[in-house]
Structure 1
Amino acid sequence: MHTEHDFSAAGDRLSTFPAFFRVEGRQVAVFGNGDEAFAKVRLLSNTNAHIIAYADEPDDNFARYLADNSVDHRALAYAENLLDGATLVFAATGDERLDRDIVVAARARKIPANAVDQPEFCDFFTPALVTRAPVAVAIGTEGAGPVLAQMIRARVDQMLSPSLGKLARLAVHYRDAAENNVPKGALRRNFWRRFFSGAVADAMANGDTLTAHQAVEQLLDAPEKAEGRVWLVGAGPGAEDLLTLRAQRVLMEADVIVYDALVPQAIVDMGRRDAERLSVGKRKGCHSKSQDDINRLLVRLGRQGMRVVRLKSGDPLVYGRAGEEMAALRDAGIAYEIVPGITSAFAAAADFELPLTLRGVASSLIFTTGHDLAGDVLPDWARLAVSGATIAVYMGRSVAASVAKRLMDAGLAVETTVAVIENASRADRRLLHGTLNDLPDLEHRDEMTGPVMVIIGDAVAGANFEKSESLALSGAPGDLKREYVNG
Structure 2
Amino acid sequence: MNQLPIFLNLRDRPVILLGDGEAADAKRRLIARSGGICVGEDNHDARLAIVALEDEDEAIAAVARLKARGLIVNAVDRPALCDFTTPAIIDRDPVLIAIGTGGASAGLAKALRQRLEGLLPATLGDLARRLDAARDAIRQRWPGGAECRRAIDAALAPGGTLDPLSDHAADAVAVWIAGGGAGVSAGRYEIAIASPDPDELTLRQVRLLGSADLVLHPSDMPPAILARARADAAMRIDDEEDGAPEGVVVRLIWAPTAGSS
Please report the TM-score for the alignment, with normalisation by the length of structure 1.
Answer: 0.34
Partners of 1:200 and 1:141 in 2: CA distance: 30
SS class of match (1:212)? coil
SS class of match (1:86)? coil
Partners of 2:182 and 2:72 in 1: CA distance: 49
Q: How does 1:90-239 map to 2 (within 5 A)?
A: 90-184=50-144, 185-186=146-147, 188-191=149-152, 193-194=154-155, 205=167, 211-213=169-171, 215-224=172-181
RMSD, matched Cα: 3.1
Larger Rg: 1
**CA separation of 1:174/1:195 partners in 2, compared to 1, >3 Å: closer, same or farther?**
farther
User: What is the deviation of 1:116?
Assistant: 1.6
Q: Deviations over 1:72-105 (max 9, x none)?
A: xxxxxxxx423x1113111113233332233222
Q: Deviations over 1:241-299 (max 9, x none)?
A: xxxxxxxxxxxxxxxxxxxxxxxxxxxxx9x9427xxxxxxxxxxxxxxxxxxxxxxxx
SS class of match (2:176)? helix
User: What is the deviation of 1:36?
Assistant: 0.6
User: What is the deviation of 1:16?
Assistant: 2.8
| Aligned with residue 52 of structure 1, among 21, 38, 45 | 38
1:35 corresponds to: 22
User: What is the deviation of 1:124?
Assistant: 0.8
Matched residues, number: 185
Partners of 2:104 and 2:83 in 1: CA distance: 17
**CA separation of 1:212/1:193 partners in 2, compared to 1, >3 Å: closer, same or farther?**
farther
Q: Which has the higher contact order (CA 8 A, sep 6+)?
A: 2
SS class of match (2:61)? helix
Structure 2 unaligned regions, length at least 5: 184-198, 205-261
Q: How does 1:304-343 map to 2 (within 5 A)?
A: none
Q: Is the 8 A contact 1:23 1:87 kept in 2?
A: no
SS class of match (2:42)? helix
SS class of match (2:134)? helix
**CA separation of 1:53/1:38 partners in 2, compared to 1, >3 Å: closer, same or farther?**
farther
Partners of 1:223 and 1:191 in 2: CA distance: 10
**CA separation of 1:187/1:122 partners in 2, compared to 1, >3 Å: closer, same or farther?**
closer
Q: Is the 8 A contact 1:191 1:219 kept in 2?
A: no
Partners of 2:31 and 2:17 in 1: CA distance: 10
**CA separation of 1:131/1:177 partners in 2, compared to 1, >3 Å: closer, same or farther?**
same
Q: Deviations over 1:413-468 (max 9, x none)?
A: xxxxxxxxxxxxxxxxxxxxxxxxxxxxxxxxxxxxxxxxxxxxxxxxxxxxxxxx
1:81 and 2:38 equivalent? no
User: What is the deviation of 1:164?
Assistant: 1.1
2:203 corresponds to: 274
User: What is the deviation of 1:188?
Assistant: 4.8
Partners of 1:173 and 1:41 in 2: CA distance: 33
Q: Give the aligned residue type for 1:52.
A: C
SS class of match (1:147)? helix
Q: Is the 8 A contact 1:182 1:220 kept in 2?
A: no
**CA separation of 1:39/1:164 partners in 2, compared to 1, >3 Å: closer, same or farther?**
same
**CA separation of 1:148/1:219 partners in 2, compared to 1, >3 Å: closer, same or farther?**
closer
Partners of 1:143 and 1:195 in 2: CA distance: 31
Partners of 2:161 and 2:143 in 1: CA distance: 21
Q: Is the 8 A contact 2:154 2:182 kept in 1?
A: no
User: What is the deviation of 1:41?
Assistant: 2.0
Q: Give the aligned residue type for 1:212.
A: A
Runs of 4+ displaced beyond 4 Å: 195-202
Q: Is the 8 A contact 1:115 1:122 kept in 2?
A: yes
Partners of 1:100 and 1:225 in 2: CA distance: 55
Q: Is the 8 A contact 1:200 1:212 kept in 2?
A: no
Structure 1 unaligned regions, length at least 5: 1-13, 55-79, 227-269, 276-487
SS class of match (1:136)? strand
SS class of match (1:189)? helix
